[in-house]
Structures are given as structure tokens and as C-alpha cells.
Amino acid sequence: MLQLDNVVKTFGALRAVDGVSLEVQRATITGLIGPNGAGKTTLFNTIAGAYVPDGGQIRLDGQAIGGLRADQIFHRGLGRTFQIPRPLGTLTVTENMLLSPHGQIGERFWNAWLRRGAVRAQDRRNLEKAREVIAFMGLGHLADQPAGVLSGGQQKLLELARILMVNPAVILLDEPAAGVNPVLLESLMERIVALNRQGITFLLIEHNMDMVMSLCNPVVVMAQGKVVMQGEPAAVRTDPRVVNAYLGDQP
């Protein structure tokens, strides 16, 4: 579903992503782990269009996306979340949701007069979908509340919910467990599993190893901008290359 071939991203003399090649198979939950500074978030930003790769190829479902703008990649079916959620705090949860769908004919002001019925019908469909997704994410009781009053964990649920408004094929999750209390984390994991069973592919960065080992298969390990191994969780946990990546050479 997602294919990277020798992807490079540099900042001056620093090769933050140094020839990364990997494949994310359709309808899997793939984990991406590694110590701080391994290049994981830079890789996410390069895949999602925040950065232009300096080398290599990135393909989404067989189509090249390397170098496209973030919004173009989003509209092709790849969404991503961030370590720190970014809702529009003064808008309600529902209003945040309604900003996501693309191709809204009401965005062209003349359609408010020339295609009033079509605009209303599309707005009604989007609102119905937003309510369904909000309920699925367990945020129904907060639908009319400003997004700024949500807890950190609830904001992560909202961020994932906003992506679902565009029927994504692939979702990149950047540290979904960070700052989330155990109850909401369990809820988030249940939603990820449910969405995966519906066919959505996930690639997630995470430092919570319990979450990675229970949720992800395969697991990809990065260190110093490179992929050092990829395999099943049990194999990754005990592999000397992974221990060395996190702890360094031991005497």
C-alpha cells in the first residue's frame, strides 16, 4: 500500500533520513520504533508532504507521491496525525470535523445562489457523516463543545476522527499514546483495530512498547536515519540490533 525506495531527507550535512526502503502492506498495522533522533518523524513528514524528499521514491498504492504538497497527498487517501494535536480550539468538535471533506461546492460563494439545493444536500451529508464518526470515536457527548476544552487524549481521538471524514486508505499516527491516560488509550487502540478490520492501513510511531507489541505486526526499527531491521514483534524485541540501537554498544 505504501512503498519507500531509498528515501533520503537532508538538512545541510545531516542525513535525517538516510536511504530508507520499506513496504507497508495493505490492511496492516505497522509499527515504526527507534530512539529519539532516529529520523522517524522526519520520515513521516517526508511521506506526508511536509518535506520534499532529496532522493528516492515514495508510492501510495502504486502512484508516486514524493514531492507532492501535503493537501494533494491527503486528498489521495493518506492522512496523518501529530505528536501534539492541532484542533481549532474555538470551533466545536463538529465544526472541526466539517472542515475536513474536500470538494465542498459551498466553498465557491456563487454556488450559494446558483446551486443552493446542492450545497444544502452536501452539507447535510457531511453533517450526518461527522455525527457518525464522532459517535464511533466516543466523542458524541462533546460534539457541541469547543475543541479547546478537550483533554489531550480526546484531542487525539478528534484528530483521527477528522481524517476519517475523507475515507483514507492509509493513516500515519505519530505517537498516539503520548500524554494519553490509560482509559482513553484503550479506547484509541480499540478504534485503531476496528478501523484496520475495515481495511484501513496504519503506520504508527510509538515509544510505548506494550502498545506496539500488542497492536503492530510487523515492526520496523530505525536508528540514525536508517532502517536497521523489520520483523514480527517477538523477534524485534530480542534482536541485538534493536538493543544496540536503543542502548548503544555495551561492554
Cβ-count burial of 131 within 10 angstroms (0-12 exposed, 13-18 middle, 19+ buried)? middle
The terminus-to-terminus CA distance of the chain in angstroms comes to 41
pLDDT at 119: 64
217's grid cell: 505486526
Assigned domain for 30 exists = yes
Assigned domain for 171 exists = yes
- CA triplet 87, 92, 97: central angle to 5 degrees? 65
pLDDT at 250: 44
Is residue 1 within 8 A of residue 170, CB to CB? The reply is yes
Residue 117 has pLDDT above 80, yes or no: no
- The pLDDT confidence band at residue 105, using thresholds 50, 70 and 90, is low
pLDDT at 212: 93
Same domain, 241 and 171: yes
Q: How many residues does the chain have?
A: 251
Q: Which residues contact 126 (CB under 8 A, 6 or more apart)?
A: 98, 101, 104, 165
Assigned domain for 8 exists = yes
Sheet with 219-223, strands from edge to edge, namely 78-80, 170-174, 201-205, 29-33, 219-223, 226-231
pLDDT at 107: 61
Q: How far is CA 115 from CA 78, 109, 111, 175, 209, in A?
A: 30, 10, 5, 43, 52
Q: Tally the domains of the chain.
A: 2
Residue 119: give the domain boundaries: 90-149
Assigned domain for 154 exists = no
Assigned domain for 196 exists = yes
The model's pLDDT over 32-71, given as tens digits with 9 standing for 90+, comes to 999 999 999 999 999 999 999 999 999 999 999 999 999 9
Same domain, 40 and 58: yes
- The pLDDT confidence band at residue 222, using thresholds 50, 70 and 90, is very high
Assigned domain for 102 exists = yes
Handedness of CA 222, 223, 229, 233 (dihedral sign): negative
Same domain, 20 and 51: yes
Q: At what angle do helices 152-164 and 182-197 cross, to 10 degrees?
A: 10
pLDDT at 60: 97
Mean pLDDT value of segment 155-181: 93
* The pTM of the whole model exceeds 0.85: yes
Same domain, 220 and 98: no
Residue 131 has pLDDT above 80, yes or no: yes
pLDDT at 251: 39
Same domain, 75 and 22: yes
Residue 140 has pLDDT above 80, yes or no: yes
* Selected residue with higher pLDDT from 102 and 178: 178
Residue 108 has pLDDT above 70, yes or no: no
CA distance 235 to 237: 6
pLDDT at 86: 85
Assigned domain for 161 exists = no
The model's pLDDT over 4-16, given as tens digits with 9 standing for 90+, comes to 999 999 999 999 9
Same domain, 80 and 142: no
Is residue 55 within 8 A of residue 7, CB to CB? The reply is yes
